[in-house]
Structure 1
Amino acid sequence: MSEPFFALSGYDSRRGRGSHEAGRPQTFAVPSLLRSLLSEHLDPGYAAAAARRDQQPPGTAAGGRAAGWAWEALAALLIATVFAVAVAQARSVEPGVRDAQQVLAANVRSAESTTGNLTDKRDTLTDRVYDLRRHRLADDAEGQRLLAGLDKLSLEGASASVTGPGLLVTVTDPGIGRNLSDASKQRVSGSQQIILDRDLQLVVNSLWASGAEAISVGDVRIGPNVTIRQAGGAILVDNKPISSPYSVRAIGPPAELRDAFDRTPGLYRLRLLEMSYGVGVRVDGRSGPDLVLPAGAVRDIRYAKQIGAS
C-alpha cells in the first residue's frame, strides 16, 4: 500500500521511530476505516436513538405506544364503517337492480320471439314466391332459361334454401377445464374461449376455395353482406349468436370437397387447436340430400351517388 493511502486514514508509519530504526522492517497497522468496520457493528444512528430513548422520562415511551394503538384502532374503526356503509347501500339498491334485470330479460325474450316469428313469416313468403315463379316460368323454353339464371343467382346470393350432399365440419370448444387455468392456455387474455371468429372465418374461406357451392354456419346461411365476428365472449354470424359446438355445412361433391379441404389452412388451423388446446374437430362427408341449408337474409343493395348527379 502507498503512503498517501495511510495518510488518508490518519496513520503515520514513521511516528515514534528514530533515525536508527529507519532500516527496520515496518509493521503496517490496520487503517481506521477497516478497524471501525470490524469493531463497531452497530450503526451510529441506532446508538443515538437508543441514547435519546434512555434520556426520556419513564412514562413517555408507554404513552407513545398507547397513542399509536389509539390511532390504529381509529383507522380500523373508520375502515369498518366504510365497509358497513357500502354493504348497506348495496343491499338497498339490490331489489331495484334485480327488477331492472328482469325487465331487460323479458324485453330480450320478447324481441327474440318477435324476430323468430318475422323470420318464419319471411321464409314462408319466400317459399311461396319461389313456387309461384317456377310454376309460371316452367312451361316454355324461355321461362326455363330464365329459371336457370335465377337459380344460379339465388345460389350465389343465398336467397333460397339448398339441399344436397357435402361436408359437415363440427368444431367443439373445450370450455373451462383444469388445463385452461394457466394464462398460457388462453388465446385471449382473461378469456377461456378457444374458438374465435377468425378460426371460423378461415374454415369458411377454405371451404369456398375447396369448391363448396353453399355454406352455412350454425343455422345461418353465408352469403353477401354476412359477417362472422367476435362480440365479447360470443361469436355472431349475421348478428345472430352461435354457441359450441359450431357446425359448418358445405354443399358440394363430398369426395372432392373432402380431399381439397384436407389440404387447406382452415383444417390445419383446426388440427393445431386440437393438439394444443383440446378442441374437438370432426369432418364428415354426407352423400345424398342429407344437408339442408336455409335461405339467407336478402338485403337491398344501396349505391353511393354523387350529390347533384342524375
Structure 2
Amino acid sequence: MKSLIRVVGAGVLALSACTIFAAEKVTLGVAIPTATHGFTGGIVWWANQAKKDLEKAHPGLKIIVKTAGSAPEQANQLQDLLTVNKINALVIFPFESASLTKPVAQVKGKGVYVTVVDRGLTDTSAQDAYVAGDNTAFGKLPAEYLAKRLNGKGNIVMLRGMPTTLDNERYNAFMGVMKQHPDIKVLDAKYGNWNRDDAFKVTQDYLTRFKQIDAVWAADDDMAVGVLKAIDQAKRTDIKEVFGGAGAKGMVKTILDGKDKRIQADVSYSPKFIYDAIKLTAEARLKGEKLPATTIIPSVLITKENAKQFYFPDSPF
C-alpha cells in the first residue's frame, strides 16, 4: 500500500511539474503590421487585448507583441523574437505574403509552432495552422449584391488591397461572379493598399479616365472613405453604389442611418480574429496540442436589416 501511495503521489507531482513546465515554456510571439489604417488599428488593439487577457488568465504564459511598418522590418522582428525572446510559438499577420514566407519558414524550421493569420503565405508548409475570415465570401457577396443592384448591366471599377493571397482570393471570387454577368464591365482593378489616401488617388485616376462608372467595389471600408472623397470632390453623380468591406463601425452606422445613398451594404470581416488566433494558439500550446490546419471565420452581408448586429460603437474599428 505504501509503495502504491508513493507511486500515485509521484504521479501527481510529475503531473503538476509537467503542467508548470508547459505553462513556463510557452513564449508566444505576435508579429503584426503597424496601425496605418482602421483595420490594422483594430488588429493592434485586439492583439494587445489578447496579451492582457491571456497573460492574466495563464500566469506562465508570456506574449510579446511586435508591430512592423514594412515587410523587411517584420522579417527582422521574427529573428529577434527567435534569438532574443526565444519564442516557441508564433502568431503572425504577415505584412506581405511572398516576402514573409521564407522568414516564417526559417522560424518554423527552428521548432517554433506557427499560426498564420489572414494574409496567407505562398507556401503553406511554412505554417502549422491558418486562421482567417472568409475571403471567398468577402469577394463573392459584394459581387452578387452589386450585380443585383445594377440589374446585370453597367460599369464597375475595383480597388484591390495589397499583393497577398487573401487579396487574390477576394479578387478571384469577385471576378468569378462577374463572369456570369457579361453585360457588366469591370473597367479596371488597381491596388489601393487598404489605405484611404492611396484609394483617393486611384479613384481620381479612374474618374479622369472613365466617363461613366456605375459602381465601385472598394473592398475595404477605409478605402471606401477615400473613394467617396474623390467622387465628391469631382462632383460625379453617375456612381450609384460604393461597396467597402470589413464592417467598420463608421460604415455600419452609415448603413443604419441611411446617411449616404451610395452606401447600402457591407461585408463583415472583424479584426478580432487576431485575438481569437492568439487565444486558440496559446491555449493549445499550453496543453501541448495543435490547432486544425485551417480555421475560417464566416463573412456575412451587412444591410440595414441586420446592421445592428454588426455595430459596435466602443470598438476601435
When normalised by structure 1's length, the TM-score is 0.26
Q: Which has the higher helix share?
A: 1
When normalised by structure 2's length, the TM-score is 0.25
Q: Which has the larger radius of gyration?
A: 1
